[in-house]
Amino acid sequence: MDRHFSAARLTRLLSAPITVLLREGDTDGRYASRSEAVLATALAAAGAGWTEPAWREVLAGSALGEWAQVQRRRTGTRRHRNLPDVEHRLAGTWAKAARRAAERPPVADAASVRGELAAVLAAADRNPGVWRGAAGVSDRAVLAVLVQVGLAACTVTPSASTRQLSELANISPATAAVALGRLRTHGWLRLEHPAAGTQAATWRLVRPDHLQHPPAAVEQVLEALPSRPLLPAGGSARAHDAFTHTVHGGLGRVAARLFDVLDDGAQGGLSVPQLTALTGLHPRTVRRHLVGLQAAGLAAAGGGGRTWARSLTAVSASPQHRVQEVPEQDRRRGPHRSRGPPDLRQLQHPQAPHRREVAAGPPAVPHALHADLLVLDQPGRTVLRLRHC
């Protein structure tokens, strides 16, 4: 089939996977249909600077050449298309590929990779209503995790197993697998390489061609919001033990989604209608989970209960109320144990009255937080990071 590349000899060659696709067909089952496989070849050709006649020449002599001429029916029979139909399919596929290549040029460096991943998140947040319900929250979490993995590896084709995704998204492996299928169906993911042996599956993060516009009321709320970072400050907290499934005593994935959306309250916090617009959740669902976050000490209400923010913003910046951090406790026994007064690295007597930065009374431990990370962020209390022996 190499002779068919003569028409494009002055342009860039296609990648090895696309070359194999043209030569052998979709032997790995990476594409849901022949149309998707042909579109992939058109996207690769357009991104490499090919012309439409060059792509048509290569496609005609490839393993996918009969796609335009022959229709495969569900009954197993075949029907030859007429010339106008063939021309319409070829011209439409190339126009779609050329338009997408112009809007989303191939990424070639780290800055382009980060920009494309940020564009994927921005597209996901364009209409939060598509992520409504428990299934939508799971899909949005898996998509965000794949973007996170892509940012760490500086690639738009992250590789991650279902177990890794489930741990980072704090959902079960079965739920993660179903979420991957839905994301692929809706056009957010494309399977590059299926999992094989010890190698995890490789996914390509893409933006769907057609994104629904949010309702006018929601769009008005979103436009009125100040500029917000695409990723939560310090990264997402969804993988923390506090947000495990409610069956296991955690707050759940919906609360994790809300916690990621909440800011530090520097601009007054977010109201329930704003949180509803940002997450696509029902207002009653938002209120219920905000109450749970507040009970766990992770969210605080302000403005007479009209706005919400992460609870660390409720801590005063004054010296006597600032949050102190104790990385660990000195658990050594015997003569080597320190006999000096407690400090930020050794909290022997948490209720010592002469220590102004330590709470005067026993702190209430948030029930949903894991024992190895207790965040007590009320005024006058201490942030403890306790490590198990």
Question: In the chain, which ranges are E strands?
Answer: 70-72, 78-80, 189-193, 202-205, 270-271, 299-302, 307-310, 324-326, 382-384
Residue 313 predicted with pLDDT over 50:
no
Q: Residue 63: CB partners within 8 Å, gap ≥ 6?
A: 21, 22, 23, 24, 25
SS3 for 199?
A: strand
pLDDT of residue 108: 66
pLDDT of residue 75: 83
Q: How far is CA 211 from the centre of its chain?
A: 17
Confidence of residue 330 (pLDDT cuts 50, 70, 90): very low
Distance CA 238, CA 358 (A): 29
pLDDT of residue 8: 42
SS3 for 70?
A: strand
Distance CA 3, CA 61 (A): 9
pLDDT tens digits, 152-192 = 888 888 999 999 999 888 889 999 999 999 999 998 998 88
> Could you tell me the domains of the chain?
2-103 (no CATH), 110-205 (1.10.10.10), 221-313 (1.10.10.10), 315-389 (no CATH)
Confidence of residue 234 (pLDDT cuts 50, 70, 90): low
Determine the average pLDDT of the residues in 368-387: 40
Encoding tokens for residue 16? Answer: 């090895």
Encoding tokens for residue 168? Answer: 């980072």
Confidence of residue 235 (pLDDT cuts 50, 70, 90): low
SS3 content of the chain, % helix, strand, coil (to 5): 45, 10, 45
pLDDT of residue 229: 66
pLDDT tens digits, 95-118 = 999 888 777 667 667 888 888 898
- Whether the model clears a pTM of 0.75, i.e. scores above it, the answer is no
Beta bridge partners of 378: none
